[in-house]
Structure 1
Amino acid sequence: MKDAFGTPQSLLVLGGTSEIALATARRLVARRTRTVWLAGRPSPALDEAAAGLRALGADTRTVPFDALDPGAHAETLGKLFTEGDIDMVLLAFGILGDQARDEDDPMSAVRVAQTNYTGAVSASLVCARALQSQGHGSLVVLSSAAGERARRADFIYGSSKAGLDAFTQGLGDALHGTGVHVMIVRPGFVRSKMTAGLAEAPMATTPGAVAQAIETGLRRRSETVWVPGTLRVVMSALRHVPRPVFRRLPV
């Protein structure tokens, strides 16, 4: 169960090598979180991430998980919940893709959509059902500010996050009153390995800043978290810009 400050004692990370997820896990372990499952494709990076959390004092285990294999999600994730209650699930997997390449290779575009949307829908529903059965817990889903309005520069990635964002909002409504807290996190450009080499967008943030915002959102039981917070106003304005004008903006 969560403590009086809203800190989960147990955490399941879907996307166990995500820089944002690991920054979040480190913050939570420094508070009260004692058990962590890192779910992801088996790799040295996943093992290294687990070792780092163990060094901070958390009982950390790795779990084989593939977003592109939704047929295995119910068995793999469901089994974890039979071992004991999980206070928080952090869905942090996703790929950025390469817009120019993906436009020329539809199967690459499909992989972005399947990872960011289809895989996330499957994993979210499995975890939501388990959280509802235990009667408590938080499902935190990493969306993106890119999902607020599709841009020419990244509409494949942006549309996949738009779908995920809409799905998560609906799931949160469906679970309202069940004891399960659903929170959407919408970061802007995050300085990370995934964005290395890309031109930095205005109001860029860091994995650590996103982690801090997630922790605050958990404590407040927020439903939507923007990182940085000023993005809420900026994206609200961009959402209402007429399309002919939006096409000419350097966004």
Structure 2
Amino acid sequence: MNRVLILGATSPIARALALRFAADGARLFLAARNADEVRRVAEDVGTRAGVTALAGTFDASDFASHDEFIRRVALELGGLDGVVVCFGTLGDEDSAQTDPADALATINQNLTGAVSLMTLAARHLEQQRSGFIIAIGSVAGERGRKKNYVYGSAKGALALFVQGLRGRLADSGVHVMTVKLGTVDTRMTWGREGALLTIAPAKAADLIYAAYRKRAEVVYVPWFWRVIMGAVRLIPESRFKRMSF
């Protein structure tokens, strides 16, 4: 039975993933910033899946608290076999491009907090020589677009970090998977461009979970974003910097 920590568990994709893991018999610890909301999510998952899902809070930017948090999760679950990193925020991109404090807040919520928590989880999983880490990133990290380069830079750096982590843990029996997510139909993306390419959270979770079961290493969700971003990467910088998308 897998003992799985889901970080950012109140997001629609995380909720759907929790149900997928629970259906396969996993014991879950669901964590987010909002204590009341994550408790409601845990109760809902438990009722739907017929399991007990534990709930707790964490702060991605409170780096000093992360070691104790990971230890507590492992203690309450009776061990730790997997971590799913679902948290992040688009932030206020316009403000982040002119205000260093907002820029750093976006970076901390999307990159440094995840790096801190995954480093601690990886240490635990490497010692037991088994387990998995799933990091949900974004296709926004493929190139630095003028409209969202602060957010995109965090996701791009996250992908590089996870790639290196995958290499480091390759001989330890720990599966590390990068998810490059396209536009998902959630509150965070409401009203933004690319609406025709959106995917429902439940469908995204199905694709992510199927890729995890196949022990995929890098997966684009949905698949066609691999083709789209492949084409985007081929655009010369002299042209790309003038494009408005």
RMSD, matched Cα: 1.5
Q: CA deviation at 1:201?
A: 4.4
Q: CA deviation at 1:135?
A: 1.9
1:45 to 37, 46, 51: 37
CA distance, structure 2, for counterparts of residue 82 and residue 193 of structure 1: 34
CA distance, structure 2, for counterparts of residue 212 and residue 232 of structure 1: 18
1:150 to 129, 144, 147: 144
For residue 70 of structure 2, what is the amino acid of its counterpart? L
Deviates more, 1:201-210 or 1:100-109: 201-210
Contact map agreement 1:137 1:179 (CA 8 A) in 2: yes
1:163 to 145, 157, 165: 157
CA distance, structure 2, for counterparts of residue 209 and residue 250 of structure 1: 29
Aligned to 2:82: 88
Count of matched residue positions in the alignment of Structure 1 and Structure 2: 243
Output one character per residue of 1:74-97: Cα deviation in whole Å (capped at 9) or x when no partner.
111123224523232101111101
Aligned to 1:177: 171
Give runs of aligned pairs for residues 178-197 of structure 1, distance below 5 A: 178-197=172-191
Mark the runs of 5 or more structure 1 residues left unpaired by the alignment.
2-8
For residue 39 of structure 2, what is the amino acid of its counterpart? D
Q: What's the % identity of the aligned pairs?
A: 37
Deviates more, 1:138-147 or 1:36-45: 36-45
Deviates more, 1:121-130 or 1:233-242: 233-242
1:207 to 201, 222, 243: 201
Aligned to 2:243: 249
Q: Secondary structure at the match of 1:142?
A: strand
TM (normalized to structure 2)? 0.94
CA distance, structure 2, for counterparts of residue 42 and residue 142 of structure 1: 20
For residue 122 of structure 2, what is the amino acid of its counterpart? A
Deviates more, 1:153-162 or 1:99-108: 99-108
Give runs of aligned pairs for residues 59-74 of structure 1, distance below 5 A: 59-74=52-67
Q: CA deviation at 1:202?
A: 4.6
Deviating 4+ runs (over 6 angstroms): none
Contact map agreement 1:78 1:127 (CA 8 A) in 2: no
Contact map agreement 1:11 1:88 (CA 8 A) in 2: yes
Change in Cα spacing, 1:197 to 1:43, as seen in structure 2 (3 Å) is farther
CA distance, structure 1, for counterparts of residue 113 and residue 74 of structure 2: 19
Mark the runs of 5 or more structure 2 residues left unpaired by the alignment.
none
Q: CA deviation at 1:200?
A: 3.2
Q: Secondary structure at the match of 2:185?
A: coil
CA distance, structure 2, for counterparts of residue 129 and residue 43 of structure 1: 27
Contact map agreement 2:35 2:57 (CA 8 A) in 1: no
CA distance, structure 2, for counterparts of residue 248 and residue 206 of structure 1: 31
